[in-house]
A and B are shown apart, each in its own frame.
Chain A
Amino acid sequence: MKDAREQIFASIREALQTLPERKPHPGPPSGAADPRWLAEETDAAALFLKRAAAAGTKVFTDAEACADWLRGLSARVVLLAENVTELTVDALSFAEVVSVFDRNDPDRIDASVTRAAAAIAETGTVVLTDETTPDRLAALAPWTHVVVVRRGEIHRSVADALAALPDDPNVIWVTGPSKTADVEGILIQGVHGPGEQAVLLI
């Protein structure tokens, strides 16, 4: 018996043989996928904040305001990733601050603060990678997740972000809190991931 790979490729080639010619690639989309309002937006940071808020993400441009918000949520245990310098243990003195996610007690941590690799203005998206978020669970399991983005890291469009996709085993774009509308079309936040997603733009 031919192996499965060989068999599938033979079937594909046989199927395609009947085509008089094969459709060429239409070429790079060069802006075709950009929403029509994107060109008018010149300030990437302002657009990012606006779109992130529209997607249900809390936005902060001031570390102190962000820490106050966490305190207001009565976060008692906060995971502060080691590569975050914008928020400090001192700023989070109201909480017990830890740096490691314990998978044996996944719900102990109320909030986590981790670093983004990049962001996308068009959609208000933050980009996480294994490089900047070594423990995927730390940015996913806690109810509240704050991700720190620097202004220089914002891509203007989805197309720009795709052109700059990092070479990383896992890149994830996060646009708002985890949500579902499976039950009667009613929107509920915080299904498996954060119910509160926030960004701190510095």
Chain B
Amino acid sequence: MAEQQIDQFTRRLDGKVRRAVRENSAAGTAKRAEILAADYGDPTPLRRLAGEIRQHAIENLDVHLAKAEDSLKRNGAEVHYAVTAGDACRVVSDILSRAGARKVVKSKSMVTEEIELNGHLEAEGIESVETDLGEYIVQIDGDHPSHIVKPIIHKSREDIARSFEREGLGDYDDDPETITRRARAWLRRKYFEADAAITGANFVTADSGRLVLVTNEGNSRFCLAATRLHIALVGIEKVVSGDADLAVLLNLLARSATGQQLTVYTEFIQGPAGSGRPSGPRETHVVFVDNRRTEVLASDCREILRCIRCGACLNVCPVYRQATGHAYRGVYPGPVGAVLTPLLAGKDFPAFADLPKASSLCGACNEVCPVDIPIPDLLLRLRNRAHAERLPSPGSPPMGPFAAMASRPWLWRMALRSGRVMDVGPVQKIPVPWMRAWLNTRTLPEWRGGKFRAWMRDRRKGGDET
């Protein structure tokens, strides 16, 4: 029996990377718990309320999305729709080419990772520069983010210093302050050279038509201050009914993601800056991206669309902490990725059907989720789907022998009696591959089989019951 792919990845992982990810994630979990306890005592009622707000939004998506479109248009933004990842990329390059834009600055956006926008723009001869420090480093390294909020959680300062030296940002210096100053100076030039800015959005309000964008670095703000054309790519599920919902969502998002009361920059964008303003975009384009979200909406896992991308479930997950983000082979790592990646894979579901099994179902992800997504339930539903589609299940011991025994009382009794031999010999040495794979990472307790049956028998003989 083969190991799960995630185990194979984890086995090859550099110990330094694992330690860095584990420590950084654990620190994130502690900060989140501390601020929520200080500010709300028990955050559960607020998390439930946020879950209801988001569930309402996705269960009424037809209404809210149409309303958001109307509001955005009223505010002067242009609204586009894209069914597939490819469509979304084309919509963006069409807007850029109509404007004659050759250079783009980008603010961190998961949906643009999902549709692989940077690769598309590069192929079209358009320079696209990531401006979030972590995303910029990921980009120059030709790497992928390994965390939703902390994209370079897997990199050390030495790694980054070497990358900067290679890219001509100065001699080797691994001081984090120097790294940040060099990026500030370099990216500042890029902002002013750029013809357009591409961002995502954390939320879109239907009633007022506002794109809400949060960053700590101020990079999205710089994008929208230095350039004259703004394109926002937005997953259709980002819509909420109104500004009032944001009180709950923004308060939970920052605390869950980084342990802050609010993210440093929380920006509400209604549309292009007024004519005559010395800065700010003259054009605002909003591209609503489906990319299989409607398939997720139709599935029995639609609750995952509540997700506000805070990363708290990654930080708390014992599997993520050991395996790290790239083990999940998708844009979204951790528990949320184990649900979302197979669902967004469409026909390629079988290729990612192992991800929902990369979980002990301990439930920690659900407990920290700011929108109370029942992630363990969704993982089980996806496991059932994989089972129903008769997909191979590497890493799981075959249950056939157990079923055969459990349904034959005589065989069961015999197995219980003979199980004691397992205490005698080294069980790990049994030359059955699936047993070896399973027992490699587990220690069996002392055999206690049959004791309950013996006790029952003796009890009846003793005639305690009258």
Contacts and interface: CB of A to CB of B under 8 A. Distances in A.
A binds B: yes
Interface string A108-152: 000000000000001101000010001111001100000000000
Contacts of B260: 175
B244 A163 contact: yes
B55 interface: yes
Name the interface size band of chain A.
Answer: 35 or more
B131 to A, nearest CB: 7
Contact of A135 (B24, B80, B216, B279): B279
Contact of A130 (B221, B251, B277): B277
B133 interface: yes
Contact of A191 (B45, B56, B180): B180
Interface string B382-423: 000000000000000000000000000000000000000000
Contacts of B152: 182-183
Interface in B216-230: 216-219, 221-222, 224-226
Contacts, number: 256
A15 B297 contact: yes
A182 B134 contact: yes
B261 A175 contact: yes
A185 B24 contact: yes
Task: Tell me the interface secondary structure of chain A in the complex.
Answer: loop
Given A123-B262, A135-B278, A22 B269 contact: no
A165 B221 contact: no
A184 B157 contact: yes
Contacts of B179: 183
A162 B87 contact: no
A100 B241 CA distance: 39
Interface in B269-284: 269-274, 277-280
Interface string A3-19: 11101110111111011
B49 A32 contact: yes
A48 interface: no
B184 A182 contact: no
B180 A183 contact: yes
B454 interface: no
Given A33-B248, A172-B266, A193-B217, A137 B288 contact: no
Bin the interface of chain B by size.
35 or more
B123 interface: no
Interface string A144-186: 0000000000000111001101011111111111111111111
B243 A163 contact: yes
Interface stretch (B61-69, B321-329, B340-348, B435-443): B61-69
Given A8-B294, A130-B280, A140-B221, A192 B188 contact: yes
Contacts of B156: 184
A28 interface: yes
Nearest to B51: A26
Nearest to A158: B247
A160 to B, nearest CB: 9
Contacts of A176: 264
Contacts of A180: 133-134, 180, 216-217
B53 interface: yes
A38 to B, nearest CB: 9
B150 interface: yes
B20 A136 contact: no
A174 B264 contact: yes
A103 B280 CA distance: 13
Contact of B270 (A134, A167, A191): A167
8 contacts: A11-B294, A16-B61, A35-B38, A123-B261, A130-B277, A165-B268, A179-B217, A182-B133
The 5 nearest A-B residue pairs measured at CB: A193-B218, A15-B298, A11-B294, A136-B225, A35-B39
